Amino acid sequence: MRNFAFTVFLSFSLVFCSHALYCYQCGDGRPNGPCQEDLDIMIKDHALHRDNGTNHTSSEYTYRKQCPESEDTCVIERVEINGVVVAYIRDCSDGINFSINASRFLNFPQDKNITTCSYVQGKFFTCLSMCNTDLCNGPQAAPNTSSSSKTVPFWTMVFLVAMSLYQ
């Protein structure tokens, strides 16, 4: 019985602790497009995700995307020619491959919370920002103290049930 209870507890812990990364996904081919300007809608997506995003369907989000397991980084890519934005992209990434393959982007530090810019072949200016937490590649909703208070009682309950079964 002890082994069964421990196995159940461990299984629940792994299911609830592991999750895929979520990033904002959008793209613009012009200055001041929605990917750059729809910040209020992105904040709504962030608040919905923060307040237990797994209970909502993907159609309730405008810009949120669940990244594949192979892509553990959120990015923002910005490309300018003569000071005019010609591409602005928010998306998931593997942290190695980007829409612009500038040599400066090849060797990032492991923490992946970085922004760097480069002139590419003297033709255009590009900046790349990378981060590795949910929806970090866009605006964040104001903190909600009630969402963290929901998590603590749940894990306390799981722990107490597991311990009572273990004894």
For the chain, give every domain's residue range.
22-145
Q: Which long-range contacts (CB under 8 A, 24 or more apart) does 34-42 make?
A: 35/88, 35/89, 35/90, 36/85, 36/88, 38/62, 38/63, 39/138, 39/139, 42/135, 42/138, 42/139
What is the distance between the alpha carbons of residues 32 and 26, in angstroms, rounded to a whole number? Answer: 13
Question: Of 128, 106, 102, nearest to 115 (Cα)?
Answer: 128
Please state the pTM of the whole predicted model: 0.72
What is the distance between the alpha carbons of residues 143 and 145, in angstroms, rounded to a whole number? Answer: 6
What CATH number has the domain spanning 22-145? 2.10.60.10
Contact (Cβ atoms closer than 8 angstroms) between residue 71 and residue 4: no
pLDDT by residue for the chain (167 residues), tens only, comes to 555 444 444 444 434 445 789 999 999 999 999 999 999 999 999 999 998 766 777 788 999 999 999 999 999 999 999 999 999 999 999 988 888 776 667 666 656 688 888 888 888 999 999 999 999 999 999 987 554 444 445 555 555 555 455 55
What is the distance between the alpha carbons of residues 131 and 65, in angstroms, rounded to a whole number? Answer: 15
